[in-house]
Amino acid sequence: PAPNPLAKPPASSTPEPPSGAQPTCETAGVVNTITAIVAAWQTSLAYRILTGAGEVEPRISTFDVWTGQTRQIAMPPRDPNCPACAHRSCRHLSGEGRPPISLCGRNAVQIHDRHRPVDLPALAQSLAPLGQVKENGFALRFINPPYELTVFPDGRAIIKGTTDPALARSLYSRYIGN
């Protein structure tokens, strides 16, 4: 019989890290030169793939910009029970299980735990009496001083005017919904 696409995949032998266990670029920062190195490396690999100039070996590469050391290790074989490798389920990329994050130096909090689409034109209509609204199909910006909310169709939002995640979540709930 055909596999049930809604069935829960079997447990992976690779444990899932707890939410927020690792620092992010927003929470810990990043040395700006590494972003250029990684972008150049990925672009070169993409050129190889697109031009057919050779196979790209599946490897994990590390670059230490302080010491100048690089290291490559072969990718381990795919785990048949891994949600990402075998089932193409990438919960963390879709924002599941991620707490609101106060964005470094921006007086803003990013909320990305809503998992249903937002009808931006309908939201624009409901918010119009409450403040200034701009919507273009890709994002909605709502300004009700001292706060500014930028909402995306997937439900993510950036709440400017606070660094308090609890207040940001309250504003999200008040203006966008649960």
Domain end: 59, 74, 89, which one?
74
With 70 as the cut, is the pLDDT of residue 25 above it?
Answer: no
Taking only the tens place, the pLDDT of each residue in 107-151 is 899 887 656 789 999 999 999 999 999 999 899 999 999 999 999
Residue 12 above 70 pLDDT?
no
164 belongs to a structural domain: yes
Which among 87, 84, 79 has a CA at the least distance from the CA of 6?
87
The whole-number average pLDDT for the span 14-37 is: 72
Residue 137 belongs to some domain of the structure? yes
CA 166 to chain CA centroid, Å, is 20
Q: Contact at 8 Å (CB) between 108 and 165?
A: no
119 shares a domain with 57: no
pLDDT at 29: 72
Q: In what order do the strands lie in the sheet with 132-135?
A: 101-103, 108-111, 157-160, 147-151, 140-144, 132-135
170 and 107 assigned to the same domain: yes
Task: For residue 95, give Cα distances in angstroms to 5, 7, 13, 143, 178.
Answer: 21, 21, 22, 24, 15
- Please report which confidence band the pLDDT of residue 55 belongs to, taking 50, 70 and 90 as the band edges: confident
**What pLDDT, on a 0 to 100 scale, did the predictor assign at position 40?**
94
Domain shared by 58 and 113, yes or no = no
Quick check: is 25 catalytic? yes
* Domain-located, residue 4: no
Q: pTM above 0.85?
A: no
Domain that includes residue 55, residue range? 28-74
> Is-contact 162 107, C-beta < 8 A?
yes
Judged against a pLDDT cut of 60, whether residue 1 lies above it is answered with no
11 occurs within a structural domain: no
pLDDT tens digit string along 68-118?
999 999 888 888 888 888 777 776 666 565 677 777 668 899 887 656 789
- My answer on whether 112 and 69 are in the same domain is no
> Is there a domain that residue 156 lies in?
yes
In a domain, 6, yes or no: no
Whether 92 is covered by a domain: the verdict is no
| CATH at residue 136 | 3.30.310.10
How many domains does the chain divide into?
2
Shared-domain flag, residues 155 and 109? yes
Q: What is the pLDDT of residues 169-178, one digit of tens each?
A: 999 999 998 7
Comparing C-alpha atoms, which of 159, 134, 136 is closest to residue 146?
Answer: 159
Torsion angle, alpha carbons of 11, 12, 14, 17, to 10:
-50
Asked if residue 144 belongs to a domain, the reply is yes
Q: Is residue 69 located within the same domain as residue 118?
A: no
Q: Which of 25, 82, 85, 104 is catalytic?
A: 25
Task: Based on the fold, state whether residues 106 and 68 are members of the same structural domain.
Answer: no
On whether both 117 and 159 belong to a single domain, the answer is yes
